[in-house]
Amino acid sequence: MSGDYLQAYQSCLTDSEKIKSTKISKVSYLLKLNAQRNSISDLDKKHKAWAKKEFI
């Protein structure tokens, strides 16, 4: 019995390709989180502005 069947479980990507893919995924995730944080911050500012208008 040979070890050829093990090749089916081997990754087609090299280690450097895996690292690039992981870094790209991490960067895109961080950008998404940053955009969400900015939208929440903007929404908070709008709510505070609306609250001030209601009291005036």
Q: How many residues does the chain have?
A: 56
How confident is residue 32, by pLDDT bands cut at 50, 70 and 90?
A: very high
Instruction: Give ∠ CA 40-42-45 in degrees, rounded to 5.
Output: 110
What is the average pLDDT score of the chain? 77
Distances (CA, A) of 39 to 31, 33, 42, 46, 56: 12, 10, 5, 10, 26
Per-residue pLDDT, 24: 81
* Token duo for residue 23: 């870094």
Which position has the higher pLDDT, 14 or 39?
39
| In the chain, domain spans | 14-55
> Residue 53 above 70 pLDDT?
yes
Distance (Å, whole) CA 54 – CA 56: 6
Whether the pLDDT of residue 21 is over 60: the answer is yes
Kindly report whether the global pTM for this prediction surpasses the value 0.75: no
